Amino acid sequence: MIHRYQLNGFNIVLDVCSGSIHAVDELAYDMIGLFEDHSREEIRAAMLEKYAAVSEVTAEEIDRCYEDIEELRDAGALFTPDTFQPMAGTFKERSANVVKALCLHVAHTCNLNCSYCFASQGKYHGERALMSFEVGKQALDFLVANSGHRRNLEVDFFGGEPLMNWQVVKDLVAYARSIEKAAGKNFRFTLTTNGMLIDDDVIDFANREMHNVVLSLDGRREIHDRFRVDYAGRGSWERIVPKFQQLVEARGGKDYYMRGTFTHQNPDFLKDIQTMLDLGFTELSMEPVVCAPDDPMALTDADLPIVMRQYEELARLMLQREREGRPFTFYHYMIDLTGGPCIYKRISGCGSGTEYMAVTPWGDLYPCHQFVGEEKFRLGDVWHGVTNPAAQAEFANNNLYAKDECRDCWARLYCSGGCAANAYHATGSVMGIYEKGCELFRKRMECAIMLGVARSMEDEDEA
């Protein structure tokens, strides 16, 4: 299977199963499109007719191009068949019962009252609560005990707002550091925060201990303050932006993301990206809102073309700023074409519910943070492990080839079957497909691959 598209002046051909990417001229673009279903003679005739006014396109040139295409096919770089299906379940079978990542919901409460919050203001449709050190410690012990041979263990401090339980976060990090060496593990911590309680202590500790920090900012002040308000209804932009700037400046190049949400109110989210850049932030992520389709904040069909244009313009802005020596990163465009994930990873689906679980303040285990509060998905707890194998089986069996819709999608090896929570909320089944999300994902991948092509062409021009 191949995917051909034109973007930003480039003709791009992706060979889906080998991962090969080709930048081609118009002639090759047309010929590759015809190659599988037409004879050499038919293609030659069609090209001679189409390019009759172009003197360079002779019968000999068409033949040379045809041979180039044949050569790539024979080298396994074009029209590569999909032979991966028998491997699809093996990764999860091999890692059965291995847990390597936990999302610790250290605070089911929040000091902001954002109406679009998928966690219903941090409460996940339940009671307000803070995780005790004892529950968190048991969660870390559970993780180490169930991590098998995995060395890198990821732990996210999440909420609600995790800084509302900051001392417990610090104590849990100290505990993890005290056991990781003897256990042969390497903890990687992430903190996701709305910024309201950031102070010098948080900055110092987070920059020392957190592998990544995710900072919630929606961009333009009027957009941010529309939803991200305190309980008195006051916007938070003015209070958090200086704190984020201080934290990022002190971070010394360590990973962080400025993470925004866009909704029906701002499908033109490039303006929000621009605001983040103007504020001095360079590691950026903007995510479509997660909410019910009938919610007034939900993206509509009419919003989609606007969003698609934003993604294209964002890619162009990245190229422009790279040329100007002012680069920035967009999370979804960070494709490592030469060193990305192996094929096992690409076909095995999200690790939610198997290698990755969320832990509530009470120590209950859920397949991921987006399933917390959905009682039927409760997997067990940190003392007894998984006691609901039927719920876990749904996630263990969820891989790329379990979904018919994915088999014919050119982007399948970039998304691995998508988000189980998005699928569940859109279709009622974790094995379903969130079609609108797929459309956005495919556009992002086209842009990301185009960036790879543009950089590669610029390198070639310089060489």
Partner 1 sequence: MKHIVTLKTRNLCESAANGGCGECQTSCQSACKTSCGIANQRCEKAEKKQSK
The interface with partner 1 within residues 199-228 (CB under 8 A) comprises 211-212, 214
Residues touching partner 1: how many (CB under 8 A)?
95
Report the residue from 8, 18, 115, 265 that binds partner 1 according to the rule CB under 8 A. Answer: 18
Q: Is 364 a binder of partner 1 (CB under 8 A)?
A: no
Distance CA 336, CA 338 (A): 6
Q: Is 343 a binder of partner 1 (CB under 8 A)?
A: yes
Q: How far is CA 175 from CA 138, 204, 208, 355, in A?
A: 11, 18, 15, 22
Helical (H) or strand (E) element with 108:
strand 101-108
Binding string, 232-271, against partner 1, x = CB under 8 A? -------------------------x-x------------
Tell which positions 276-335 bind partner 1, by CB under 8 A: 285, 287-288, 290, 331-335
Distance CA 395, CA 230 (A): 36
CB of 34 to partner 1, least distance (A): 14
Tell which positions 376-405 bind partner 1, by CB under 8 A: none
Q: Is 65 a binder of partner 1 (CB under 8 A)?
A: yes
Distance CA 333, CA 286 (A): 11
Report the residue from 79, 187, 269, 441 that binds partner 1 according to the rule CB under 8 A. Answer: 441
Report the residue from 190, 194, 310, 360 that binds partner 1 according to the rule CB under 8 A. Answer: 190
Report the residue from 150, 226, 228, 243 that binds partner 1 according to the rule CB under 8 A. Answer: 150
Report the residue from 7, 391, 415, 447 that binds partner 1 according to the rule CB under 8 A. Answer: 415
Closest CB to partner 1 among residues 111, 190: 190
CB of 61 to partner 1, least distance (A): 6
Closest CB to partner 1 among residues 108, 150: 150
Task: Take residue 155 and report the two structure tokens written for it.
Answer: 């732990």
Tell which positions 69-108 bind partner 1, by CB under 8 A: 69, 72, 76-77, 80, 83-84, 87, 90-91, 94-95, 98, 100-101, 103
Closest CB to partner 1 among residues 247, 453: 453
Helical (H) or strand (E) element with 271:
helix 270-278
The phi and psi torsions of 172 (rounded to 5 degrees) equal -70, -40
Tell which positions 157-176 bind partner 1, by CB under 8 A: 158
Q: How far is CA 449 from CA 4, 11, 110, 248, 272, in A?
A: 12, 11, 38, 29, 23
Distance CA 251, CA 213 (A): 10
- Residues forming a β-bridge with 212: 190
Closest CB to partner 1 among residues 128, 455: 455
Scan for tokens 């900051």, then name that residue: 166
374: left (phi over 0), alpha (psi -120 to 50) or beta: beta
Closest CB to partner 1 among residues 69, 163: 69
Angle at 201 between CA 197 and CA 206, to 5 degrees: 85
CB of 98 to partner 1, least distance (A): 7
Query: What residue type is assigned to position 72 of the chain?
Result: L
Q: Is residue 359 within 8 Å of residue 104, measured between CB atoms?
A: yes
Q: Is 365 a binder of partner 1 (CB under 8 A)?
A: no
CB of 440 to partner 1, least distance (A): 8
Backbone CA torsion sign across 75, 77, 80, 86: positive
Q: Is residue 257 within 8 Å of residue 285, measured between CB atoms?
A: yes
CB of 234 to partner 1, least distance (A): 25
